[in-house]
Structure formats: C-alpha cells, structure tokens
Amino acid sequence: MKKLYFLPLLFTFQCLLAQNIEVDGTIQIMEGAQAGYILTSDADGVASWSPSEDADRKQIFVTDFGAKGDGTTDDTNAFQTAIDSAAVQGSTLHIPAGNYKITQTLSVPAGVQLRGDGLGNSLNANSNSTSGSRISFYGNNVFAIEFSGDYVGCQNMTIVDAGGMAAGGIIFTASASGFGIIGAAFNDLFLLDFINGTSIKLEAFNRAGVAFCSFENIHIRNAKKGIHIAVGTDGSFINLVTFRSINISGTGFEHAVLTDGGLTTTDWYSLSIQTDCPSAGHIVLNTGSVNIYGLHIESEDAACSDETVLIQLAENTRGSYIHGTAGKGRIIDEGSSFIDVTGESSIGIRPSGNNLFQNSGFKGLADNNIPLWDFIDCSGCTTPVGIAVEAPAWQENHNVLKLTLAAGQKTQLSPKALYFTRAYQNKECLFGAMMKSDASDVVVSVGYERCSGAGFSASSAHPNDNNWHFVGKPSEMDPDNTCPPKPRFVLDNSAGSSPAVVYLTTPSFVFSRGEKPALAAGPITTAGGIMTGTLTTAMLEVASPADNTLQLTADANVFQLSGDNTIHRINPSIDIFAQGTMITLLFESSGLAVTHDDSSIKLLGATNYVSETYSTLKLLSLGDGVWQEIDRNCASGCAPAPFKETSETSKETIILTQPVNLATTPKTAVKIYPNPTKYGIHVALSEIDQNKTYRVQLMDSSGRTLFIKALDTSTNWIDFTALNLAAGRYQVQVLTENEAVYNNGLIIVPN
C-alpha cells in the first residue's frame, strides 16, 4: 500500500527550473517517503527519497559552531561555545580531524568529554596536518584546557604548545570545598612541547578531592614537567587515580613525575621515561605514595651522570612500591618504601621479609611464661587463666599457643620491648598471626599502639568459625623514629559469659606494606650463615633426674639445673639434638655431678664434673647421643675433690711430671723446682736473652689460664697459696713475648 505524507500548509521549495512555488494547503507525495528521509535530486533533476545524515544525530560537533580547524583561524570562541552547548546535555563534543588554533584557556565543566578523530601523523608542532585532531595552543602563562567536575575527559587527539609560552597543556582541578571529583577519563593523547610548563597537572585544594579517575595511553614529549600532582595541605586529597601506558620523552625536563603538598595515592602500570638528564629528578615524591609496576627509565642524554636523580622519595612519603629498571643515576628514599629498581649506578631498597618477632615458634613455655613475650598491663587486662603450647598445626616448627580466657577477661600479648626492633626510618608495618576460635563472644584481633598516646588501632576480628585465619593489619608507624613499634594481639572476652579458648600461631611482623612476611622457618645452610647481634634462644628450668638420664627438649639451649642427682647421660636418643647443637647447663647450686664416660658424656681431663653455685658447662652434640665438653665456667675448676682451705702449713704435694706430647725443646734453659712445704714452685732461668721479657703462666686441663706472672730475675718464687688449687692436672709454661720456651705438665695430688 502506498503511503501518503502531508507537508506543512505553507511549503516552499526550489524546483528544477529554479522557481519557487508557494502552495496554500497540502501536497500529497506518494511512494518511498519515510520518517527522517529528505528529497534529493541527481544531476538530471530526478528527485528521490534518501536518509538524512543529520536527522537523528544527537552528537555535538565543534565544527557545527563555526570552528574551522585550518590552523590559521582563531577557533577559541567557537570551541568554547560548543563546549558550553555540550554541557547543557552532558554529552561528548566531537572534534573532527583538523588543526584548531586556540588562544585562551578552554574551560570544560562536568559531564563533557572531548573526543577527537586521532593523534595525526606528525610530531612537528607547526604541522598543519589534518590526518588527526590537533589543538595548537598560543596562550601565554595559562593552561590550554582546564577540566573541572565529575565525568570530564579528553581522548584521541594531540595538544601542542604552538606559541611556546603556555603554563601547561591539561589541568584537572578540584576546588569546591568539601566535594570530590570522580570519574574523569583521559586516554589516547599526545601532549607536545610544553617547554615552559606542565603537560598534565592534577590539583586539589580547599578541602576538595579527586578520586576514581584514569589516564591511559598518553605520550608526553618535551616539557618542563611531565605530570605534576599537587594537593593542598588543608585536608584535600588525590587518591585512587590510575595511570596506564604512560610515555614521557624528549628534552627540557625538570621532572618527569612530581608530587607536592598533602595526601596523594596513585597507581601506575607501565611508566616509560626516556628523556635527557632532568635538572631536578625523573620521579620526585615530596608527599604521599605511588605504586609503580613496570617502570623503565632510559636517558636519551649520554651526558647523564651517576649524580642524576632517578627516584627521590622525601621524608614525608610512605608506603610506596616501585618496580622496574633504570639507567644512570641515584635512587634516594628518605621515607619508608619498597623500591625494587636496578640501575646502572644505583639500586633500589627492598625491606626485608624476615619475621622480626623473636621466638615466633612459641618455644620454651614454663610457669606460664613465654620467652621473649609478655602479657602486658593495659586497662582491664589480665593474664589468661590458661596458657599451654600444642604441637604445630598450621606451619612446621611453629608451636600453637593455646590461651584460655575466663568470662569477662581481656588480655593483650606483645613482644618484650627489649627484644623488638626499633622503627627508625620505617614509616609503615604489617603484622598479624594465624588464629582460631569458636567462642561466639570473644573478639580476636591485632592492633598497634602509638608511642605518643594517640590511641589504639585494631584490625578486623576473627569470624569465630573455628577455622584458621590470618588476622593482621597494616599500620603507620609512630612519627617519633626513636620509639619502638608496639604491636598487640588482643583477645577480649569481656562480653562472654563462659570461658573462651583462642589458638594462635606464626606471629609475624615486617616493616613496609610492600613486603609480606616470610612465615616459614629457614635453617642455616651447610654453606654457613651470617648473624648480626647476639643469638639468644630460651632458657628452661629442669631438675636433675632420679634415673640419672637427663632428657631435654629442643625448646631452649640454656638449661638451669636444680637438685643433686648425678647425671650419667643426656638425651641418649639422637633424634632430638642434631650433630653440632650446643647447649649450656647452668647449675644453681654446688655438688651436682656430671660423670665422664666416652660413650655418653666426654669431659675435659677425662674426670667427673662437680658443680659450684652458678657454674656452667657447655656441651656439643656429636649426633649419636654422645656429648663433648667445650668449656666450663667456675671458680675452682669444677673438679671432683675441690681444695678446701685449712690452717695446716702443708697443702697438697706438687709433683712435676712430663706428660706425653707436652714437652718442647727449650730455647732457654729453664728449671722448675716444686716446693710442697711452701705450696708453690721455683723457676730458674739461665742463658736468657737480656733483650727479652719472660713470664710464667699456669693453666688447667681445659686450657684456661689461672695465673700469669712476669719473671724479673733469674730465680723466681711462684706462690700458689691464694689460688686454692684443687687436685688434678695442670700445665706450666714459660714464655718470652709470644714464644714458649718451657711447657710441662703439673699434677697436684692430696697429701
């Protein structure tokens, strides 16, 4: 069926004969008419219906408002009018291919996106190429385009400082008090030759903020500053802003990336910097933090030196993560960051992932005390009513600490301050532990107490589902770098009406947010190891065994012994202490004997050991249930029959003997004469060198020096009375400087 269309009552059109026909009424046109179609004619004047290009077009084109894009005409007013029109309906302003001359700042309000037809095919700032959309800016000391408000953006075009006097290319500003700007998107842009200004600047002030914005596929070439992020210190912020595939190249740079002012946190993915030597630094952070994944810095200037600043993070920065490679120059971190960057003449700083909690395996529990840990005093806090250690259940070598809290009880567990690392320049930390509980009312969390008394910040709580969960939190360190960190494990059963049991294992602490803690225990390898500081484990109190076999656990390496039962064997099983393990026995009283036996305990001098009060005996495991004495510390030799002072003139008989393999060929004639009556020895020297000094020394069977005296004449009397020597084997040496001229054994036996 043919359609009828009715034109307006008064309709004027141009006929083929170039005559105007006025019709009063309607014209009925048959065949082919549809909504949105118009009549067009061919060269022969034959008319037909065809679709209109503009009939349903809702987009706004800058050329609709008179912009020429010929590189000569000043298109500023046409551009701004088009932007204002687009703002009415919050739409995209299309910029067809062309070279648009702009002389004043273009202001782009909320909701307006500028979209070009491409970046063109020339890097020449003076090119009139129309293969892409280009804004050639000729303004002085102002930015080419200023964006403000939510959901603004710019894409697929080139922006050039054609006049060479611009303050910058794009400035994105948040200044409305108490409001934030979100949703801005800038991508596929080329900013060229802003040699006296900044290619892209983000700023927030007057307690405003910028968040949830993105910059992607952007090339910046030749500028004073590449990207500058500036934030007021009045509570303003720029957070959650993402940069992807950013290339900064060319000459004239002070900075490639610069941050200033208040709080900023930005994420970067693939940042390439290929410029000449910057006058200030490639990446300089004076505030905030960055996460840069895939950084590449490669100078195009062969004159760049080792002093060029590649990366500099000021003291006010914290928690940055930077990963990549670099060329010549310095990497400076005055804050606390994870910089995994290797350059030709500098390297980055990676915080250690080593767990800084000592005794993280909860070894050595005794009398409700855990070595190197404290249940601290806090408001309403008490020590748990039950403290026990169970076998590892989540990580090998880490015992499980079982804590029972009474109804209404609260406790905090913390490392002893004496054994915990100070913060110094570290600004952030991560800590926590694997925890488990099924008590519905108990709150299980971790927290951090500031030294300045600024309060306590707690983590999220355990879900109390009776499963293992790692409960932890990142925290900012106290600003006082001389103050040690104060991590706390908080168990609160204040609201509980019944006892609550909490299990805790693998407590861990590291500095910086970029490095997660290594929980697994790592052995010292057969290649050796390095220790900085004092190696300390735990000490346990044990009683001497009634069956004369001392069975020790591997929870300590120092054991304080009580009682008076003789010890014949120590851990005869070989699967507790491996070969090379050293232990120390500390005796709290005298008279406890350790017997010598080559098949169990091999003591120096092959004689039994009898303790004195607080004497010590160090033993080394030979790996087969046999122990070897390494050293002893006692006042009188710890021998079976210690000498007791009497009023008798005669003490013991001193007998000079010649033990096997002790004699040396004397280079000086030396004779020793024992004098039992006076309890000592005479030393006679002959054929001595007058230019040398001589001395005599007495040592016990373990090689410990008991006595030293200079020999000032050819005949000397050495009095042993004050030494209270016990019966046993000793050694006498006469030395000149560091050379022994006499070396003989000496045996003292009772009268």
What is the rounded distance in angstroms from the CA atom of residue 376 to the CA atom of residue 319? 29
Antiparallel, parallel or unpaired: β 669-675 and 680-686: antiparallel
How many percent of the chain have pLDDT more than 90? Answer: 39
How sure is the predictor about 539, in pLDDT bands with cuts at 50, 70 and 90?
A: confident
Predicted confidence at residue 553, as pLDDT, reads 81
Q: Does residue 9 surpass a pLDDT of 60?
A: no
Predicted confidence at residue 208, as pLDDT, reads 92
Residue 345: strand, helix, or coil: coil
Concatenated DSSP letters of 225-265: EEEEEEE-SSS-EEEEEEEEEEEEEES--SEEEEEEESEEE
687 Cα distance to chain centroid: 69
Q: What values do phi and psi take at 64, rounded to 5?
A: -65, -20
Q: How many CA atoms lie within 13 A of 471 on its CB side?
A: 27
Q: Does residue 404 surpass a pLDDT of 80?
A: yes
CB-neighbour burial class of residue 369 (10 A; exposed 0-12, middle 13-18, buried 19+) = middle
Q: Does residue 374 surpass a pLDDT of 80?
A: yes
Strand 500-511: give its sheet, edge to edge: 386-390, 400-405, 500-511, 428-437, 469-476
Mean pLDDT to the nearest integer, 541-561:
88
How sure is the predictor about 51, in pLDDT bands with cuts at 50, 70 and 90?
A: low
One-letter amino acid for residue 343 of the chain: G
303 touches 327 (CB < 8 A):
no
Q: Does residue 170 surpass a pLDDT of 90?
A: yes
403 touches 504 (CB < 8 A):
yes
pLDDT digits (tens, 9 = 90+) for 459-473: 888 999 999 998 988
Concatenated DSSP letters of 589-648: SS--EE--BTTTEE-GGGS-EE--TT-EEEEEE-SSS-EEEEEEE-SSTT-SS-----S-
pLDDT digits (tens, 9 = 90+) for 442-499: 999 888 776 665 567 788 889 999 999 989 888 777 666 666 678 889 999 999 999 9
CA 468-469-475 angle, to 5 degrees, is: 150
Predicted confidence at residue 511, as pLDDT, reads 81
Closest CA to 583 of 609, 552, 620: 620
Mean pLDDT to the nearest integer, 141-169:
96
Residue 322: Cβ within 10 Å count: 27
CB-neighbour burial class of residue 726 (10 A; exposed 0-12, middle 13-18, buried 19+) = buried
Best mean pLDDT range from 53-67, 580-594, 644-658: 580-594
What is the rounded distance in angstroms from the CA atom of residue 454 to the CA atom of residue 165? 49
**Residue 635 structure tokens:** 């006042």
Predicted confidence at residue 584, as pLDDT, reads 92
The alpha carbon dihedral of 277, 168, 114, 53 has a sign of: negative
pLDDT digits (tens, 9 = 90+) for 290-342: 999 999 998 766 777 788 889 999 887 877 889 999 888 888 888 778 888 88
441 touches 495 (CB < 8 A):
yes
Mean pLDDT to the nearest integer, 23-38:
58
Q: Does residue 402 surpass a pLDDT of 90?
A: yes
Q: Does residue 202 surpass a pLDDT of 60?
A: yes
Mean pLDDT to the nearest integer, 622-626:
82
pLDDT digits (tens, 9 = 90+) for 702-750: 667 777 888 877 778 888 877 777 777 788 888 886 677 777 778 777 6
- β-strand partners of 710: 695
Only one residue has tokens 């993560």, namely 321
Q: Is the pTM of this model over 0.75?
A: no
The alpha carbon dihedral of 337, 341, 345, 349 has a sign of: positive
pLDDT digits (tens, 9 = 90+) for 378-389: 888 999 999 999
Q: Does residue 637 surpass a pLDDT of 80?
A: no
Mean pLDDT to the nearest integer, 539-545:
89
pLDDT digits (tens, 9 = 90+) for 689-705: 777 888 888 887 766 77
Predicted confidence at residue 736, as pLDDT, reads 80
Predicted confidence at residue 17, as pLDDT, reads 44
- β-strand partners of 61: 94
